[in-house]
């Protein structure tokens, strides 16, 4: 933070996503008092995007008469280079790296910080979620892709080059599915909303059972339809969740033997599947985990709620600063 200050009542969290950018007013207990959002793809002009974002922030502050009560603005975004403090995500429409915190700070005169969305999420989980008091845990976010973050000895692990925690691209299946990254078998090609859909298509080919999922083409099938099918006991959907859990459990077993964390938290839309996902995950961990670790590390759903994790985490970085 550039302007150290005593703790104020509120902070602003900004969650930059490929589709939507969300802005929230958050108090020190992690209550989300208000939220606004805007289209992330509306303009390829980063200056315009930033100006619009600053405007929404100002609106929010005015609405709540929160002038002078704001600790600062935390921004979590994909593709952040935390050293250069710029955002350069492939799924954003901007052609150049964007120094978003600097621009927002200039526009609002509030201290602003830009960090990776995954770092924001893990800081938020510790500040406001299920990891309160933990210094040593892992957060995996199962969204369109698979995000990951590590906290070790109370610090978010950034790595030697600021690139750490890309566990979604750890090789999970030898010679497996093609990944966006150009490699094969990456964990996120199985364990993510997209991975779940790919698994359904594999199962529609290998299984013969009738399924409502046979009515959707690849482009139209989405996680919501698979959730609904599972809800009505569709064997294909149920098997897809089970298979996802098996692969995820195996990957978590690998994390546990390496890092011996206090807990692994799962976040993101897929965790709404509840026991349909968590049960096979736990079973697979038991199948693959070195016996001396059995029972050492619970796998828990994030306590921040799938939708607001990003905002809360971004807001938390102004108060809780375990960045290394």
Determine, following the binding rule CB under 8 A, whether residue 170 of this chain makes contact with a copy of itself: yes
The whole-angstrom separation of Cα 37 and Cα 286 is: 41
Which region among 109-117, 165-173, 274-282, 303-311 touches a copy of itself (by CB under 8 A)?
Answer: 165-173
CB of 170 to a copy of itself, least distance (A): 4
By beta-carbon proximity to a copy of itself, the closer residue of 155 and 282 is 155
Question: What residues from 249 to 288 belong to the interface with a copy of itself (CB under 8 A)?
Answer: 250, 253-255, 257-262, 287-288
By beta-carbon proximity to a copy of itself, the closer residue of 53 and 246 is 246
The whole-angstrom separation of Cα 122 and Cα 53 is: 24
Question: What residues from 26 to 65 belong to the interface with a copy of itself (CB under 8 A)?
Answer: none
Query: Which residue, 204, 192, 218, 184, is CA-closest to 277?
Result: 192
CB of 154 to a copy of itself, least distance (A): 10
By beta-carbon proximity to a copy of itself, the closer residue of 207 and 290 is 290
Determine, following the binding rule CB under 8 A, whether residue 219 of this chain makes contact with a copy of itself: no
One symbol per residue from 305 to 324: x for binding a copy of itself (CB under 8 A), - otherwise; what is it?
Answer: -------------------x
* Residue 169, φ and ψ in degrees, nearest 5: -105, 15
Structure tokens at 147: 């995000």
| One of 163, 274, 305, 307 touching a copy of itself (CB under 8 A) | 163
By beta-carbon proximity to a copy of itself, the closer residue of 65 and 258 is 258
Question: What residues from 179 to 218 belong to the interface with a copy of itself (CB under 8 A)?
Answer: 181-186
CB of 171 to a copy of itself, least distance (A): 4
Question: What residues from 106 to 145 belong to the interface with a copy of itself (CB under 8 A)?
Answer: 136
The whole-angstrom separation of Cα 137 and Cα 123 is: 11
Which residues in this chain contact a copy of itself in the complex, by CB under 8 A?
A: 136, 148, 150, 152-153, 155, 157-167, 169-171, 173-174, 181-186, 250, 253-255, 257-262, 287-293, 296-297, 324
């Amino acid at each position: 933070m550039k302007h150290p200050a005593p703790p104020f009542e509120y902070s602003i969290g900004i969650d930059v996503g490929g589709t939507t950018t969300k802005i929230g007013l958050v108090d020190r207990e992690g209550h989300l008092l208000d939220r606004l959002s805007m289209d992330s793809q509306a303009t390829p002009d980063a200056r315009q995007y930033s100006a619009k974002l600053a405007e929404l922030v100002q609106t929010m502050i005015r609405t709540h008469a929160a002038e002078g009560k704001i600790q600062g603005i935390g921004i979590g975004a994909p593709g952040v280079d935390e050293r250069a403090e710029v955002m350069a995500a492939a799924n954003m429409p901007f052609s150049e790296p964007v120094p978003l915190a600097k621009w927002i700070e200039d526009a609002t005169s509030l201290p602003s910080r830009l960090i990776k969305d995954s770092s924001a999420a893990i800081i938020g989980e510790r500040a406001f979620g299920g990891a309160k008091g933990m210094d040593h845990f892992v957060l995996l976010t199962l969204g369109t892709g698979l995000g990951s973050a590590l906290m070790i000895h109370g610090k978010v692990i950034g790595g030697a080059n600021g690139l750490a925690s890309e566990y979604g691209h750890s090789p999970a299946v030898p010679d497996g599915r093609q990944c966006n990254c150009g490699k094969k078998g990456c964990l996120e090609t199985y364990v993510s909303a997209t991975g779940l859909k790919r698994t359904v298509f594999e199962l529609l080919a290998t299984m013969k059972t009738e399924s409502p999922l046979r009515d959707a083409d690849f482009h139209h099938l989405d996680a919501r339809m698979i959730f609904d099918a599972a809800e009505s006991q569709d064997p294909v959907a149920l098997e897809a969740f089970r298979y996802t859990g098996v692969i995820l459990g195996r990957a978590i077993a690998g994390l546990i033997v390496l890092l011996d964390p206090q807990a692994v938290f799962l976040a993101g839309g897929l965790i709404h599947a509840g026991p349909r996902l968590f049960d096979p995950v736990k079973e697979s961990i038991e199948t693959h985990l070195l016996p001396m670790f059995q029972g050492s590390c619970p796998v828990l759903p994030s306590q921040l709620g799938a939708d607001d994790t990003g905002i809360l985490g971004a807001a938390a970085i102004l108060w809780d600063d375990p960045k290394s």
